[in-house]
Amino acid sequence: MSVLVTGGTGFVGGAIVRALVKQGERVRVLARRTSKTENLTVQGVEIAYGDILDKESIKSALKGCTTLYHAAALYDLWGLDEKTLMETECEGTRNALDAAQAVNIKKVIYTSTAVAIGEQKGKIGTETTKHRGYFLSKYEQAKYEAEKIALSYLDKGLPIIIVNPASIYGPGDLKPTGRAIIDFINGRMPGLFDGSNSLVYIDDAGIGHTLAADKGRVGERYILSGNIVTLKEWGELLCQLSGVKMVPIIPAFLAGIYSLFGETVSRFTKEPPVLSRETFRIASHGFRVDGSKAEKELGIVHTPLEEGLRKTIIWYWEQGLLKQKPDCAIKD
């Protein structure tokens, strides 16, 4: 029997696929015909062509599968069309779960996000935290609504386990967290401000999903978060690893003005701003979530932040994305 992964051609889904292949699972990935799948087929992964907005294609892809990993999603903190985002997250989730129920899938691992926890400013969120009632980004709102849809299928008898990764970083990341690392090292970030972030390394995120399938309890949420860091701590570690100089710590209101200016410029350049308004809102509010439940119940061991960032920075250098060779890539 096989397992199906939606979103397997993406950053997070790809990590889930790698973890499953390493465990010896027979893996099938739902992918559009326009998607690049060569890195999957060389791993022995079967490709089932379809789309999460096409329920029948998901049902066909699920034939002969025991487990569904639903990781397909849109993610960015700038430039996403709100209607398309909501459709992909919510309708895509409903389609995938309807299909799973129709073919009697034994277990569904649903990839949510830890930003959907919605902790209050100054607090650390857990799996039982009540959402603050307002949203810091369109992505947060879309994933919050999609997670509610997923949880509603428990009442329909579908065995679902929710995984809530924090900000995922690592080799291959060209989304907001990864772009911030590149911009910081390349000197494009004029300053940092009072804020915080919760981080999880990409390989840990992939393994965390497979552990949730093996050891997780149906109906439970599991936050994957290895570190909570202030922006200052994050910047200082990047400086230590790359050899660049630390930027100044600026007042938050100036960072907010900078994010507004950057988005104005980006409307013309079509390039992501160094700091989007949504990124500013999330970081200045403070994104702080506790991953101890997954550590205790699933047995996940998180990669130390310094080790994960070193691997990430070296990958960016090898891809030609950094202006100068970072210290951590220099051989002794």
- Report which secondary-structure segment, H or E, holds 240: helix 231-242
Report DSSP letters for 274-287, one per residue: SS-HHHHHHHHH--
CA distance 79 to 283: 18
Mean pLDDT, each 10-residue run in order, the chain (332 residues): 94 97 96 93 95 96 97 91 94 97 96 98 97 97 97 97 98 96 97 98 98 98 98 98 97 96 92 95 97 98 97 98 96 55
Alpha-carbon distance of 252 to 16, in angstroms, equals 36
148: tokens are: 């509610």
Q: How far apart are CA 123 and CA 130, in angstroms?
A: 11
The range of the structural domain enclosing residue 64 comes to 2-169+199-226+289-303
Alpha-carbon torsion (267, 271, 273, 277), positive or negative: positive
Q: Which residues contact 193 (CB under 8 A, 6 or more apart)?
A: 231, 249, 250, 251, 252, 254, 255, 283, 284
Residue 224: helix, strand or coil by DSSP? strand
Q: For position 332, what pLDDT does the model report?
A: 45
Which long-range contacts link 253-257 to residues 24+ away (Cβ below 8 Å)?
Answer: 254/191, 254/193, 255/191, 255/193, 255/280, 255/284, 256/280, 256/284
Q: Is 241 part of a structural domain of the chain?
A: no
Q: Tell me how crowded residue 121 is: count the other CB atoms within 10 A of its CB.
A: 10
Domain count, the chain: 1
Question: Residue 192: what residue type?
Answer: L
Q: Is residue 181 part of a domain?
A: no
pTM assigned to the model: 0.96
So what's the pLDDT on residue 79?
A: 87
Q: Does residue 242 belong to any structural domain of this protein?
A: no
Q: Is residue 312 part of a domain?
A: no
The token pair that represents 184 in the structure block:
């910081």
Q: What H or E segment, with its residue span, contains residue 102?
A: helix 92-102
Could you tell me the CATH number of the domain that includes residue 104?
3.40.50.720
pLDDT of residue 1: 76
Within a domain: 83: yes
Residue 136 in any domain: the answer is: yes
Tell me if 145 is assigned to some domain.
Answer: yes
Domain-located, residue 278 = no
